[in-house]
Every structure is written in structure tokens, then in C-alpha cells.
Amino acid sequence: MDKTRSRVRPRTDDDVQACVRVLAEVHRHDGYPVNWPAQPGDWLAGASALGGWVADLDGRVAGHVGLTRSAEGDLAPVLWAERNGTSGEQAAVVGRLFVAPWARGHGIGALLIGRAVEEARHRGLHPVLDVVASDTAAAALYERLGWTRLATVEQRWSATQVVTVHCYTA
């Protein structure tokens, strides 16, 4: 990847609208997120309590990732903790990862994940994530980067929606 053309930096409040535009493009192209949030800017900001980053490519916001503590419904931290005889509070959840369709093929997803993992480890936390099983491109990326699938589970998201989710650990 041409590093002069891209960089990962902390997300600012000024980036949120550009991130929402990219997220809308990803949603139309890939169906992520599965359920479009009522307040997409808040959805992005809420998923970055430990950090949020954007990738710029040629001066345009091209991707996003967030890092949070484990929350109710996050399966990967629980599975990782059970496997390692520790607490899920020692995990950090990588989430809200997306790259604009026009910016793919430049290693941006790997750069964003790398930045979130670096921050988790800096805080003494272990990075984990959940991904919808139908998102085969994302699962392939995590596996190329050496992440380990902990389990594949059915998760009830609402009274009428059950989703198959892969849980990964770095």
C-alpha cells in the first residue's frame, strides 16, 4: 500500500458526517450494518469509548474502526474469558469497522484493525470481536490477519431476528 496516500488517525467530531456517508455507501453495497441505526452518528461514536479512528485515502475518509469495553450482548469477550480462565472485563471489543467500497484493496481494513489492536494492548486489554457470519469478506480479513475463531453462535437481536455470528480473538 502507498503510505503517502493513506493514514489512520483518531476520529474527530468533524469526521462523523463523512463516516456516516461512507457507512451508508457500505450499507448499500454490503448490507453492513445489518440493521441501519436510527442515529448513525451516535451509533459510531458509542462504539469508540476506548478509541475511534478513521482512515484517510487521498484526503478522503475511507474507513472507520472503534474500540470499546465489553457490553451486554457481546459474545466474544465472554468466550475468550471462559477459554482463558479470566474476566471478560480484560477484553476490548473491536467494532464498527468498515471501508468504503471505492477504497478497498489498499490495506485500509488491516491498518484500522491494527490500530485498534495496538490501543487495546496498550491498555492491557485483549482484542476480540463479533462479526455476522454472512459477512464473509470481513471474516476472511480477520483470518488473514491471524485472528482465531472462538465459536459460531446464533444470537437473537429481536423478537423476529436471529443472526449467526462468528466470535474472534486476536
The three three-digit cell numbers of residue 61, written as one number: 475518509
What CA dihedral angle connects 144, 150, 19 and 49, to 10 degrees? -130
> pLDDT for 49-75, tens place per residue?
899 999 999 999 999 999 999 887 788
pLDDT digits (tens, 9 = 90+) for 119-156: 999 999 999 999 999 999 899 999 999 999 999 999 88
* Matching residue, cell 474502526: 65
Task: Kindly write down the DSSP assignment for every residue of 55-84, as one continuous string.
Answer: EEETTEEEEEEEEEE--TT-HHHHHHHHHH
Span 30-53, pLDDT tens digits: 999 999 999 999 999 877 789 999
**Residue 1 in this model has a pLDDT that exceeds 50:** no
Cell 476490548 locates to 92
Angle, helices 136-144 vs 108-122, to 10°: value is: 60
- The per-residue DSSP string of 35-61 comes to S--SSHHHHHHHT-SSEEEEEEETTEE
Total-model pTM:
0.92
Number of alpha helices (DSSP H) and beta strands (DSSP E) in the chain: 5, 7
